[in-house]
Structures are given as C-alpha cells and as structure tokens.
C-alpha cells in the first residue's frame, strides 16, 4: 500500500454537522490523486453524544479515519494527529474551515522545494455563514483569524507566523520538538492560543529548515454566529495578548513588554482625539493581556479596554 504524501488532520470538539462536513468535503474535491492523501478526524469531544454526531456527519466519506483523543484540548488533539498520521507531512485545518481547490497540488510543489520546508501554509480568508453585524470594521478580521502576508512564496520568521487553521508541518520534526505545547491552545471554552506560533518559534531556533508562506495555499475560516458579539471579541483579544506573552517568554528576543506599552500609549492618545473605534479597544485589550501575563497581574483579567 502506497504511503500518502499528506495527512489532512481536522480536530473537532464535537461541532459536527454542516461545518465539519464542509471541512472534510473540501479535501475530497482537491485536484490531487486520492491515493496521495489521507483524511484524519480527531474527535476531541469527550462526549458520547457528540462523538456519535461526528460519526454521523462523516458518514458520506467512509475513507475518513476517525481517532479519539480523550484529553480535552486542541493541542492534545493535534498531537494525536501527529502520532496517528500515516504521512510525513500533516496538514491542519479547523473543523469550521474550508480548504480551497488546488491546495494539496500546490502544497506538493512547495514540499518539493530545496531546502525542504519544515512547515508551510498560506492565507486565511474570513468566511461568513451569517451577515456581518452593523458594527463590524475591516480591522476586526484579524480577530476572526484573517491572515495575509502578501503575494508569492517566501520564507517567514517570527513575528510573522502561520495559523493553525492553515498549517502543514513535517511530522517527524514536529514530534522531535515535542509537538504542540499542551499548556497553550483552546481547552473547552478557554481562549488561550499560540501553540502554533510556539511550535514555529521552536522550528526556527532548532532547525535550519525554512517555514514557507505561499499565497496560493488558501483556507477559508468561517466565523461562528455565536461569536459575533463584542464581549466574545474582547475576551479573545485579552487572551491573545496573554498567549503571545507566554509564547515569547521562553524565547528571549522574540518580543518585549515595551511593545504593548507603546501600543497602549498610542491608543490612549487617539482616544484624546476622539478616535476610539472598537478595533482600538481590542488592541488595548490585547496589550493589557500581554502586560497582565508578563506581570502576572490577575486583577487585570477583567479589564475591558
């Protein structure tokens, strides 16, 4: 039996139905030999009813391999995918995302490059199943996982990072580096992130192989209706700041507490000139999260910008 070139891994906490079906279906319409890839769904729901819903959602695709990861947490699920993959390159997309046609064909060309990439990915486009609220601003797309690092193919380095919803990694190298840090990443309703950024920092500092951004590797990430509210975005911004500090703390030179302090000073100056958009509030919230984590000031965790 031929070993597949790629394993497309989709981790789900039980959000089955149309979203998971869309993610999986987007892989099977790729312009690629079906024998060149496998699809692995990691069920991280830890709930029998949700697990059954996952299986029902995947019924139209019997070729999908389902594995269970009982320890709740996105990093645990992604590490399970690394262990279970039959391929040497694991491509992660989220269960609320869609891989654009031609992705795997283009990824094959990227991983034929020299030197061999350690990781690769590309743009994340924000998709909508529901109308945008009237208060939505273009700058808010960042908090919906929008990513665009320009056109073409290029090597990137921190603070530029690929997002976990569009990230292909060398399986063996990722495992050698310890995989995704389980103290970071979503766990239940928690909003910590940064496990993808930390892995890329480790790759950059412990491997000579490049991390490649290719503008043709496009994934659309859909923003769920229940998250289309200011309260959720404020919480996400704060915990993104906390996560970024945790990522940078173990890598001297990767970042500085001066950056969020400068961001705060600049933002409060804009407030004085009545330039206080919701996007500005989110940037302040993220900065406060970074500072709170750096100083371990739990009293700041309820600050709302």
pLDDT single digits (tens) 78-92: 999 999 999 999 999
d(CA 114, CA 94): 28
Please report which residue ranges of 85-182 form alpha helices under DSSP H: 103-110, 171-176
- Residue 148 CB contacts under 8 Å (≥ 6 apart), including other chains: 123, 124, 215
End-to-end CA separation in angstroms for the chain: 56
* pLDDT tens-digit map of 274-298: 566 898 899 999 999 999 998 885 5
Q: Does pTM surpass 0.85?
A: yes
Mean pLDDT of 61-88: 96
CB 15 within 8 A of CB 54: no
Closest of 43, 27, 37 to residue 87, by C-alpha: 37
CB 215 within 8 A of CB 154: no
d(CA 89, CA 144): 26
- Least confident residue range of 27-36, 49-58, 207-216, 291-300: 291-300
Closest of 222, 244, 81 to residue 161, by C-alpha: 244
Per the prediction, the chain carries an average pLDDT of 90
Taken in order 235, 238, 244, 250, is the CA torsion positive or negative? negative
The pLDDT confidence band at residue 301, using thresholds 50, 70 and 90, is very low
* Chain centre distance of CA 80: 16
Instruction: Tokens for 185, please give them.
Output: 């990443």
Phi, psi of 256 (to 5 degrees): -150, 145
Label residue 25 exposed, middle or buried (CB < 10 Å: 0-12, 13-18, 19+). Answer: middle
| Residue entry with tokens 């700058």 | 139
Check residue 215 and report its DSSP letter.
T
pLDDT of the residue at 305: 42
> Is the per-residue pLDDT at 218 higher than 90?
yes
Structural element, H or E, at residue 287: helix 278-295
* pLDDT tens-digit map of 112-162: 988 999 999 999 999 998 888 889 988 899 999 999 999 999 999 999 999
- Residues comprising the chain, all counted: 305
Closest of 290, 291, 289, 296 to residue 304, by C-alpha: 289
CA dihedral of 271, 272, 273, 278, whole degrees rounded to 10: 10
Taken in order 52, 53, 54, 55, is the CA torsion positive or negative? positive
Bigger pLDDT: 30 vs 253: 30
Label residue 278 exposed, middle or buried (CB < 10 Å: 0-12, 13-18, 19+). Answer: middle
d(CA 64, CA 61): 6
- Residue 56 CB contacts under 8 Å (≥ 6 apart), including other chains: 16
- Taking each helix axis from N to C end, the angle separating 258-272 and 278-295, rounded to the nearest 10 degrees, works out to 150
d(CA 20, CA 14): 9
CB 54 within 8 A of CB 16: yes
């Amino acid at each position: 039996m031929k070993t597949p070139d790629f394993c497309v891994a989709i981790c789900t906490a039980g959000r089955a139905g149309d979203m998971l079906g869309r993610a999986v279906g987007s892989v099977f319409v790729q312009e690629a030999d079906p024998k060149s890839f496998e699809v692995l769904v990691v069920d991280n729901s830890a709930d029998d009813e949700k697990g059954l819903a996952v299986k029902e959602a995947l019924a139209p695709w019997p070729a999908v391999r389902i594995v269970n990861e009982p320890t709740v947490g996105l990093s645990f699920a992604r590490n399970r995918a690394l262990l279970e993959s039959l391929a040497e390159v694991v491509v992660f997309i989220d269960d609320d995302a869609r891989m654009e046609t031609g992705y795997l064909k283009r990824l094959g060309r990227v991983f034929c490059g020299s030197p061999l990439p350690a990781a690769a990915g590309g743009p994340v486009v924000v998709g909508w199943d529901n109308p945008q609220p009237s208060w939505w601003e273009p700058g808010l797309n960042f908090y919906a996982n929008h990513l665009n690092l320009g056109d073409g193919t290029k090597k990137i380095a921190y603070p530029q990072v690929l997002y976990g919803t569009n990230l292909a990694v060398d399986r063996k190298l990722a495992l050698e580096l310890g995989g995704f840090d389980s103290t970071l990443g979503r766990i239940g309703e928690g909003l910590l992130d940064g496990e993808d950024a930390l892995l890329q920092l480790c790759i950059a500092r412990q491997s000579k192989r490049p991390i490649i951004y290719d503008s043709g590797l496009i994934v659309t990430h859909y923003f769920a209706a229940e998250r289309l509210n200011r309260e959720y975005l404020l919480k996400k911004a704060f915990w993104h700041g906390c996560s970024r500090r945790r990522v940078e703390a173990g890598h001297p030179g990767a970042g500085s507490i001066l950056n969020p302090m400068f961001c705060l000073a600049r933002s409060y100056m804009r407030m004085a000139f009545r330039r206080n958009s919701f996007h500005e509030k989110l940037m302040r919230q993220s900065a406060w999260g970074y500072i709170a984590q750096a100083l371990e000031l739990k009293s700041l965790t309820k600050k709302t910008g």
